[in-house]
Amino acid sequence: MERMKPMFEYTGKRVVVTGGASGIGLAIARVFAQQHASVVIVDLNQQAADGAATEIAAAFDATVESVACNVGEEASVADAFAKIGGPIDVLVNCAGIAHVGSLASTSPADFDRLYNVNVRGTYLCMRAGLAPMLEKGSGVILNMASIAATSGLSDRFAYSMTKGAVLSMTLSVAKDYLAKGIRCNCISPARIFTPFVAGFLAKNYPGREEEQKKELAASQPIGRMGTPEEVASLALYLCSEEASFLTGVDYPIDGGFFNLR
């Protein structure tokens, strides 16, 4: 009997993760390195990116690079991807920011700030990462959307707008480059307990963090928030050869949010 190769094996693959120095992006960078990929961490914070790269490389005996980039600025993205060079087998767009506010309370400055990072940043990085994939004739792009893209959430006006755009861009890219050997999907998480969420609770609910954490957890029927590592495991699958039949998919990881409420 022919021996089966290990599942989710990324030896010889090069994976670029934006927003890779913290939260979900950091967990994704770690899990790809653990599966023997060569990883490039792209982040606004050079020091954080360097620290993450050093930690992951030591933990998994992996090749991990770090590149500073402001994903919303065209020149910064062009410079970053020139430093990265080719080939790029997988691009995971995790860089993003959040905002709490309704239509009335969201200022034009807030709106533009969210758009610049979450929408324009995803667009610029996809566009920059596309060229080496086209040259190779294969590649996978994975974007980070949200349940906010397709579900009405209170006080998430600008954030929901940006994640809806990420979903639409994902479907468009999947359609346009299907014949070029490039797959494009997105993940839509419900609430994930990241350092950002912890910081938000500490800033807005001092002394009541645990109480508010339980309230956020209760919005998922499963009774808790997700973890960055759970999202990372899904990302590992969606970008793998085992998922080669999947493209143009918005994949929820939501603790039953959509179907069991």
DSSP, res 241:
G
Contacting residues for 11 by C-beta, under 8 A, at least 6 apart: 36, 37
Per the annotation, the verdict on 115 as an active-site residue is: no
Strands (E), the chain: 14-18, 38-43, 64-68, 90-93, 139-144, 182-189, 250-253
Burial class (CB in 10 A: 0-12, 13-18, 19+), 27: buried
- Cα gap 41→20, rounded to integer Å: 5
β-strands 90-93, 38-43: how paired? unpaired
- Set 10, 115, 123, 159: catalytic member: 159
Residue type, 50: D
CB 188 within 8 A of CB 142: no
CB–CB of 164/121 below 8 Å?
no
CA distance 208 to 50: 34
Query: Which positions are annotated as active-site residues?
Result: 159
